[in-house]
Amino acid sequence: MSLSKYQQKFKLVMNDIEELHYNWRTAYCPIQRNFYQQKLIEKIYEAMRFIEGLSEKLKYVEVEKSIRENKIFTLEELKNFDGTNGKPAYVAVDGIVYDVTLIASWGGASHFGLLAGNDFTKEFNDCHGDRNMLKKIPVVGTLSL
């Protein structure tokens, strides 16, 4: 199950808890109150199992992310990621390889005449220089020397 699906399901369990809690608080009859209390406890256990599962899932996402960030590209490999034929678009700046596939200003895998799949350290420093603007771009690895 994907992370967002999991979060949606968790939200549903939390909604159930809210509803059961309301029913339990407002029930007049003791038998009804007992019934809602029991259901409430069961739902809280279900929510706890969700939280345990979610933290496992998040650990996995972190590992996946660190693997993604650790790939080492040669310049030859980098050239494959030029955004053509559905391939992602990567560019390198100062030895870091960035995924610009979804970056608006790199639409069409190009940016002011620069085509993705290359090392643009010099161009970046000539045109921008401010590294902070690269913080928003996902890192996929480093460029081998």
In the complex, the residues that contact ligand HEM under the rule CB under 6 A are 91, 93, 98, 100, 103, 105, 111-112, 114, 120, 123-124, 127-128, 133, 137
Give the nearest distance from C-beta 89 to ligand HEM in angstroms: 10
> Of 51 and 133, which CB lies nearer to ligand HEM in the complex structure?
133
CB of residue 144 to ligand HEM, shortest distance in Å: 19
Three-state secondary-structure class, residue 97: strand
Whole-number Å distance between alpha carbons of 83 and 81: 6
Q: Could you tell me the end-to-end alpha-carbon distance of the chain, in angstroms, rounded to an integer? A: 39
Contact between 81 and 117 under an 8 Å Cβ cutoff? The reply is: yes
8 A C-beta contact, residue 110 and residue 116: yes
Question: What is the smallest separation between the CB atom of 70 and ligand HEM, expressed in angstroms?
Answer: 20
Nearer to ligand HEM, 43 or 119 (CB): 119
> In sequence order, which ranges of the chain are alpha helices (DSSP H)?
3-26, 30-69, 75-80, 121-127
Closest residue to ligand HEM, based on beta-carbon distance:
127
State which residue, 61 or 127, has the beta carbon closest to ligand HEM. 127
